[in-house]
Amino acid sequence: MILQVKVKVKISTIKEFASKLISGQLDRSAIIGETYCEKNDPAVGVSYWNVDDIQEFENMFSLWKQFYETYEIKEVITPKEAMFLLLN
Protein backbone atom coordinates (compact mmCIF):
# COMPACT_ATOMS: atom_id res chain seq x y z
CA MET A 1 0.00 0.00 0.00
CA ILE A 2 1.16 3.54 -0.68
CA LEU A 3 0.47 6.26 1.86
CA GLN A 4 0.67 10.02 1.44
CA VAL A 5 2.05 11.48 4.64
CA LYS A 6 1.61 15.23 5.19
CA VAL A 7 3.23 16.61 8.32
CA LYS A 8 3.96 19.88 10.09
CA VAL A 9 7.31 19.81 11.89
CA LYS A 10 7.58 21.12 15.46
CA ILE A 11 10.06 23.96 15.09
CA SER A 12 11.21 23.43 18.69
CA THR A 13 12.52 19.95 17.74
CA ILE A 14 14.06 20.80 14.36
CA LYS A 15 17.71 20.44 15.47
CA GLU A 16 17.14 17.05 17.09
CA PHE A 17 15.03 15.95 14.11
CA ALA A 18 17.76 16.94 11.65
CA SER A 19 20.41 15.20 13.75
CA LYS A 20 18.43 11.93 13.82
CA LEU A 21 17.80 12.10 10.08
CA ILE A 22 21.44 12.78 9.24
CA SER A 23 22.72 10.05 11.55
CA GLY A 24 20.28 7.48 10.14
CA GLN A 25 18.40 6.96 13.42
CA LEU A 26 15.05 7.34 11.63
CA ASP A 27 14.15 4.56 9.20
CA ARG A 28 13.58 6.03 5.73
CA SER A 29 13.45 2.68 3.90
CA ALA A 30 9.71 2.92 3.14
CA ILE A 31 9.85 6.50 1.84
CA ILE A 32 9.56 6.75 -1.93
CA GLY A 33 11.88 9.42 -3.33
CA GLU A 34 12.20 12.75 -1.58
CA THR A 35 10.03 14.62 0.88
CA TYR A 36 8.85 17.98 -0.47
CA CYS A 37 8.02 21.02 1.65
CA GLU A 38 5.61 23.85 0.96
CA LYS A 39 7.35 27.00 -0.21
CA ASN A 40 5.06 29.29 1.81
CA ASP A 41 5.36 27.12 4.94
CA PRO A 42 8.57 25.06 4.93
CA ALA A 43 7.53 23.32 8.16
CA VAL A 44 4.90 21.43 6.12
CA GLY A 45 6.12 18.46 4.12
CA VAL A 46 4.65 15.67 2.02
CA SER A 47 6.15 12.25 1.44
CA TYR A 48 4.98 8.91 0.10
CA TRP A 49 5.56 5.65 1.97
CA ASN A 50 5.37 2.15 0.47
CA VAL A 51 4.42 -0.38 3.16
CA ASP A 52 2.78 -3.80 3.29
CA ASP A 53 0.04 -2.70 5.68
CA ILE A 54 -0.94 0.03 8.14
CA GLN A 55 0.67 -1.83 11.05
CA GLU A 56 4.06 -1.76 9.33
CA PHE A 57 3.60 1.97 8.75
CA GLU A 58 2.61 2.62 12.37
CA ASN A 59 5.66 0.71 13.61
CA MET A 60 8.02 2.73 11.40
CA PHE A 61 6.27 6.07 11.87
CA SER A 62 6.09 5.84 15.67
CA LEU A 63 9.63 7.23 16.05
CA TRP A 64 8.88 10.12 13.70
CA LYS A 65 5.69 11.35 15.45
CA GLN A 66 7.55 13.15 18.25
CA PHE A 67 8.86 15.69 15.72
CA TYR A 68 5.46 16.66 14.28
CA GLU A 69 2.80 19.10 15.43
CA THR A 70 0.31 17.48 13.08
CA TYR A 71 0.21 14.72 10.53
CA GLU A 72 -2.31 13.45 8.01
CA ILE A 73 -2.15 9.98 6.48
CA LYS A 74 -4.05 9.00 3.31
CA GLU A 75 -3.87 5.87 1.22
CA VAL A 76 -3.21 6.71 -2.44
CA ILE A 77 -3.20 4.68 -5.65
CA THR A 78 -1.37 4.86 -8.96
CA PRO A 79 -2.89 6.67 -11.94
CA LYS A 80 -3.41 3.28 -13.62
CA GLU A 81 -5.40 2.01 -10.64
CA ALA A 82 -7.38 5.26 -10.53
CA MET A 83 -8.24 5.01 -14.22
CA PHE A 84 -9.46 1.44 -13.74
CA LEU A 85 -11.70 2.52 -10.83
CA LEU A 86 -13.04 5.52 -12.71
CA LEU A 87 -13.89 3.53 -15.81
CA ASN A 88 -15.55 0.62 -14.01
Enter the pTM of the model: 0.90
Evaluate whether 52 touches 44 at the Cβ level (below 8 Å): no
pLDDT of residue 40: 98
Catalogue all structural domains in the chain, each as residue range(s) with its CATH number. Answer: 2-87 (3.30.70.100)
pLDDT band for 76, please (50, 70, 90 cuts). very high
Report the chain's mean pLDDT, rounded to a whole number.
97
**H/E element holding 34?**
strand 31-37
Averaged pLDDT for residues 15-39:
96
Segment 37-53 shows an average pLDDT of: 98
Q: Is 70 helix (H, G, I), strand (E, B) or coil?
A: strand
Return the pLDDT at 86: 96
Per-residue pLDDT at 53? 97
Is 13 strand, coil or helix?
A: helix
| Cα-based distances in Å from 34 to 45, 49, 71, 77, 85 | 10, 10, 17, 18, 28
